[in-house]
Amino acid sequence: AQKITQTQPGMFVQEKEAVTLDCTYDTSDPSYGLFWYKQPSSGEMIFLIYQGSYDQQNATEGRYSLNFQKARKSANLVISASQLGDSAMYFCAMREGLGGYQKVTFGTGTKLQVIP
Amino acid sequence: DADVTQTPRNRITKTGKRIMLECSQTKGHDRMYWYRQDPGLGLRLIYYSFDVKDINKGEISDGYSVSRQAQAKFSLSLESAIPNQTALYFCATSEAGANVLTFGAGSRLTVL
């Protein structure tokens, strides 16, 4: 079974609109963390946002928010007021375990294109 | 200068050649990682190191080796490159107990 599933290979959004990128995860570890990274066409990986499994509130970072639904094992990324510069690949990732090696597993990514 | 520097950024080589990708960091992080990115597959872990004397295999280590020459340096070697090792390779670092990975800019390797 896939640890991290991103079911949307590609998405379009109109500039200034909000968009939700889906991510579901699978783990039996009670302690885990969820991340989103952005990869623009230039190729670098940029950290966007982090949510810990014990965090009570959804994480927010500027225009990015993580809609964490623990019972449904989903960690969707919401980008508000989309900008042209948001066009990129977006990867959801999960860290499992405490101490020692904490395995990080990445999803296959969603390519977001913002339309002017 | 970037916190995590990878060299070379692009490399084209032939089947059977030995290739080394180098990574250096100024973050002072103990932990370093090598990932491989293929279209449609996301990022997969090749090797990771928690300190100079600690090297561990990731999920796809066959055909690769690594060396942690110093806390700040972690190199990835392909002893005899093959075409299916054509990919974008990322070095990443993290602090012990921290959650976020800091990535280098990537090294694009093409094996003909």
Q: Closest-CA residue in chain B for A94? A: B99
Give the model's pLDDT for residue A99. Answer: 62
* Residues of chain B neighbouring A99 (CB-CB closer than 8 A): 97
Question: Which residues, in sequence order, are CB contacts of A74 under 8 Å at separation 6+?
Answer: A22, A23, A24, A25, A67, A68
Give the model's pLDDT for residue A101. Answer: 65
Give the model's pLDDT for residue A98. Answer: 64
**pLDDT tens digits for range A20-76:** 999 999 999 888 999 999 999 999 999 999 999 999 899 999 999 999 999 999 999
What does the block give as tokens for B99?
């959650």
The answer to whether A52 touches A66, Cβ cutoff 8 Å, is no
DSSP A41: T
| Percent helix, percent strand, percent coil in chain B, to nearest 5 | 5, 55, 40
* Residues of chain B neighbouring A91 (CB-CB closer than 8 A): 42-43
**pLDDT tens digits for range B56-85:** 999 899 999 999 999 999 999 999 999 999
**pLDDT tens digits for range B17-57:** 999 999 999 999 999 999 999 988 889 999 999 889 999 99
* Residues of chain B neighbouring A44 (CB-CB closer than 8 A): 103-106
* Residues of chain A neighbouring B41 (CB-CB closer than 8 A): 108
Answer yes or no: do B100 and A45 touch at CB < 8 A.
no
- Tell me whether residue A56 is exposed, middle or buried, using C-beta atoms within 10 angstroms of its C-beta: 0 to 12, 13 to 18, 19 or more: exposed
From chain B, which residues contact A within 8 Å (Cβ)?
Answer: 35, 40-45, 48, 50, 56, 88, 90, 92, 97, 99-106, 108
- With a pLDDT cut of 70, the percent of chain B lying above it is 97
**Shortest Cα distance, chain A CAs vs residue B107, angstroms:** 9
Give the model's pLDDT for residue B99. Answer: 72
Which residue type occupies B18?
A: R
Give the model's pLDDT for residue A36. Answer: 97
Residue B45: which of B64, B21, B17, B67 has the closest Cα? B64
φ/ψ bin of A62: left (φ > 0), alpha (ψ from -120 to 50), beta (otherwise) = left
Give the model's pLDDT for residue B106. Answer: 95
Asked if the model's pLDDT at residue B2 lies above 90, the reply is: no
Q: Which residue's entry shows tokens 């070379």?
A: B8
What residues are paired with A115 via a beta bridge? A14
Q: Which residue's entry shows tokens 């800019």?
A: B105
